[in-house]
Amino acid sequence: MATIARRVVVDGMVQGVFFRDTCRRVATSTGVGGWVRNRADGRVEAWFEGDRAGVERMVAWCREGPPGARVTGVEVAPEAAAGETRFRIR
């Protein structure tokens, strides 16, 4: 099973709606490592690393976000795996 990584930047009403905490819980239950953080520009940035199915599930989750979020755009960039095995909020 190959490990892949994706950097995701989510635009919209995504801060102040428990995006990071919910993302951490979903990623942990999915078995994906990485991190999520708020950016100064109002967007949320995340790094997902793991098996293809888990990472793709997290990217799909970012397109919706938690209840209360209004996602208007998602940028996804493939990255080289960095060895992230657990998920955390930065």
- Contact in structure between 75 and 62 (CB atoms under 8 Å): no
Tell the CATH topology of 3-89. Alpha-Beta Plaits (3.30.70)
pLDDT reported for residue 46: 98
Residues involved in catalysis: 20, 38
Percent of the chain with pLDDT over 70: 99
pLDDT in tens, 35-56: 999 999 999 999 999 999 999 9
- In angstroms, the CA 60 to CA 39 distance is 20
pTM confidence score: 0.95
49: enclosing H helix or E strand? strand 44-51
User: What are the extents of the domains in the chain?
Assistant: 3-89
